[in-house]
Structure 1
């Protein structure tokens, strides 16, 4: 049978308290960290969306400016005439973002839609920037409202004035902020046209990479086809204030999950602690019971032996599976106590049948049992006192328990020298090979029920991959002159398959009998004794 280790915590309440608080803090820390990472990722995505929206808006403004300049350039009325001024005013009124338009000559303003013809040409000052043949004044005074400023562009003798904040009005409400730039890529010059100044270089803005500086998140964006660049940003303190409630809730949720995990582990540990204590008491007071799975000769269906299986009902009346309590005992180092109890209980219940040589009883031995030299001495004394020949006691070792050949070979050799019958249990699921079996000097192998269940459908003789593997195992056993016991036989087809494949093969399973108590086994032996060809196995 396979056995799994059981993890146990320290026995002290302090360890459980430490586990609870550690798991709670760890859950809170992981949730906090994950929340911050998710929040930062979301923030970067939001800033990137804002930058693209801003850039799209800038490109739309550029198209509107170009169309306005083209209309003014192509207008047939004489420059600054009444019809020209009326045309310019219609253009301003129909535009969403243009504040004023007008005409210039030799760098001086002649007329504008807002004020009409100027009595004297006005010098707007030197332009701050020139890009693609257009001159730019980022903060020109509006003639219709000298206290106001606008973003002015001149090309071909006509100019257009825009609201400088038009570019950034498309952003979502605070806390996101934005700054717009005109960028002349051939010269590398850049001028701010809207928004507040940002402490980024031209190269950093042109690179369009997210960065953090002076506790501010920045997402610049420039494209090769546009003269507009944008920077959308948010101050860290604003971001922290905006996301604090979400981070707190997620951190609290992580702490709760950590606490629940710790409580589940502690509950499981307490249950295992209680199980361990109960199991130790059961061993000490002999409260474990045995049942016996009959082993039959498949050719005659006569019972030739049985495997002793240990059972336990805990103090709450719950039946605990051997895969659970054997694993627990093995992990805590007291499984040999169970082996000793089984050994003495077998002699107590079936000593007369064993002394008469009427059957062989097999016991399961663990790796810890092999490493305990006193167990062999106790086993010898127990059998000799009851006058039971050692060959009538089979010792079942799993392949995994013999995997460390250096540790197991000496113990196995001593068992063989003492005359005990040696089985390799669950054969085919572990590490055995032809040479390895020969070195172990095993007397028999027990084919694992996994193979039995799979070959049941192949009783018609067809050669599946599974049946080929089974045939190889049986051929290996034949070459080494090993007895074969097939586990888990449940159908007549399975029995017929193995009976036909290898003479002298034995089996066990529910087809022949469920595990029986000692009185039930005696009754079964009486019922089948008339078919037995000989009265003794030894």
Structure 2
């Protein structure tokens, strides 16, 4: 009996600290989860402040504009505001509740486009319409901010467009009215509005956080379910032992595999570059006016262990390993060797080569190109340079190199335009030749998406600045017609051809016959 009691007491003495530790761990986990949710809410408030700051700066630019309302100069200024401000979808003028004109609508006077009374007005004179019917009859409403006869249009969802892998509920609320303005998909707006109005009415199965902006008249409400390990703390001890071993072993093995894979991939790429095993495929570029194939873009391809490595992973590994300069040189050599005969016999045909941002800080690649090209019989205009908008982050360093390419006769294109860091001032100062509309904007043509109006904006702005336009990712005839009608000159995409090896490209060009119109 004594032995049994001793064992029992010893067991209790051993278990009590464990139980206490589990309880303390539960409380600590509860505190951390609440702080984690509060940090998420603060990040969401910062997102709202960025959106509203962008809108207010747009209004201030319009207020400083001196051209008469809706004159050609005023309309150009409105388009400039809509294009250069990331979150602004439209910019316009109004008299009372009547829309006069805007960047998207043009001259709207007499078309009966009216606005309701503002939902709220702040002390700074800014007026807010939280849910206005879209003038294009799109199902998603607009959020308008205006003052002194000017207004900008925002997508309400941009206020809650926060990266969140945990899929927490999130809503934006007007401080002036207590009204819910926007909510993430899957969020119950009624519940969020109720929690904002009555924070004490909360259930025990969720965490809540409400954070008010110090500079803008908005707040956010966010909610997340309590963790299963916290709410079921008696299971924690067993789960720690069982799942800890299992997850730790699996995570260690997975980490080792991933690390070894990345190092082995980098080593293999170094070896492939050394052996000049990087290949180039060519995607045809078509003139929309007459369907001629006027050129092609040179695209990297690399096969490793019998499988094609994705271009994104290839560029990531190459950049980390410092191999981009060597790869760019090999791409140029492949172009001159692969399709040099076609370029010599077709002087109007060109190939565009992507140049890494690091090669826009020095004359290195420019000197390589100028050394390779003479004596080949290939004209400077037949080798065109594509740069990304990241070059604008090193604006002063890149400006001279870009101009050197153009002075030498190589047209310069901005690739994937609209996804990076460009602004109107950079476009005006850099003096490039063409903009390439990113595939993500081409994909939204004909759809009800927040970015569906970006492509026409880019085309209009390019025309005003004297640039040509190449649309990437064209896959359907309807997209091609839409782009042609709005003035885009060129297109590339699977509608015409995927990227092809050099011999397949030549066969494609020999078989390609322009047609008068895409039916």
TM-score by length of 1: 0.50
- Which of 447, 451, 454 is equivalent to 1:469? 454
Deviations 1:279-309 (Å, cap 9, x if unpaired)? 1111111212211100000111110000011
Pick closer, same or farther for the CA change 1:525–1:246 going to 2, 3 Å: closer
Deviations 1:381-417 (Å, cap 9, x if unpaired)? 1111313222211111111243221332232232223
Partner of 2:377, secondary structure, is coil
Is residue 396–residue 425 contact of structure 1 (8 Å, CA) maintained in 2?
A: yes
- Which of 321, 331, 345 is equivalent to 1:332? 321
Partner of 1:293, secondary structure, is strand
Matches within 5 A, 1:294-373: 294-314=284-304, 316-356=305-345, 357-373=347-363
Give the aligned partner of residue 163 of structure 2: none
Pick closer, same or farther for the CA change 1:345–1:42 going to 2, 3 Å: closer
CA distance in 2: counterparts of 1:472 and 1:280, whole angstroms: 42
Pick closer, same or farther for the CA change 1:278–1:34 going to 2, 3 Å: farther
Shift in Å, 1:330:
0.6
CA distance in 1: counterparts of 2:319 and 2:427, whole angstroms: 25
CA distance in 2: counterparts of 1:290 and 1:41, whole angstroms: 56
Matches within 5 A, 1:38-57: 38-40=22-24
- Which of 432, 438, 441 is equivalent to 1:448? 438
CA distance in 2: counterparts of 1:447 and 1:379, whole angstroms: 26
Pick closer, same or farther for the CA change 1:318–1:437 going to 2, 3 Å: same
TM-score by length of 2: 0.52
Is residue 276–residue 330 contact of structure 2 (8 Å, CA) maintained in 1?
A: yes
Give the aligned partner of residue 163 of structure 1: none
Pick closer, same or farther for the CA change 1:36–1:507 going to 2, 3 Å: farther
Shift in Å, 1:263:
3.1
Shift in Å, 1:42:
7.2
Give the aligned partner of residue 269 of structure 1: 259
Is 2:383 the partner of 1:398?
Answer: no
Give the aligned partner of residue 472 of structure 2: 487
Give the aligned partner of residue 506 of structure 1: 490
Partner of 1:295, secondary structure, is strand
Give the aligned partner of residue 508 of structure 2: 524
Shift in Å, 1:465:
5.8
CA distance in 2: counterparts of 1:390 and 1:41, whole angstroms: 69
Is residue 456–residue 491 contact of structure 1 (8 Å, CA) maintained in 2?
A: no
Shift in Å, 1:452:
0.8
* Larger of the two Rg values belongs to structure: 1
Is residue 286–residue 292 contact of structure 2 (8 Å, CA) maintained in 1?
A: yes
Pick closer, same or farther for the CA change 1:366–1:34 going to 2, 3 Å: farther
CA distance in 1: counterparts of 2:432 and 2:512, whole angstroms: 29
CA distance in 1: counterparts of 2:431 and 2:317, whole angstroms: 30
Is residue 330–residue 368 contact of structure 1 (8 Å, CA) maintained in 2?
A: no
Give the aligned partner of residue 120 of structure 2: none
CA distance in 2: counterparts of 1:471 and 1:248, whole angstroms: 60
User: 5+ residue gaps in structure 2?
Assistant: 1-16, 29-232
Is residue 291–residue 311 contact of structure 1 (8 Å, CA) maintained in 2?
A: yes
Partner of 2:302, secondary structure, is strand
Is residue 293–residue 508 contact of structure 1 (8 Å, CA) maintained in 2?
A: yes
Shift in Å, 1:529:
6.1
Is 2:369 the partner of 1:379?
Answer: yes
Per mean C-alpha deviation after superposition, the further-off stretch among 326-335 and 365-374 is: 365-374
Give the aligned partner of residue 461 of structure 1: none
Give the aligned partner of residue 209 of structure 1: none
Is residue 409–residue 440 contact of structure 1 (8 Å, CA) maintained in 2?
A: yes
Shift in Å, 1:335:
1.3
Shift in Å, 1:494:
0.5
> Superposition RMSD on alpha carbons, in Å?
3.1
Shift in Å, 1:517:
1.7
Partner of 1:498, secondary structure, is helix
Shift in Å, 1:523:
2.0
CA distance in 2: counterparts of 1:507 and 1:470, whole angstroms: 13
Shift in Å, 1:378:
1.1
Partner of 2:512, secondary structure, is helix
CA distance in 1: counterparts of 2:249 and 2:496, whole angstroms: 51
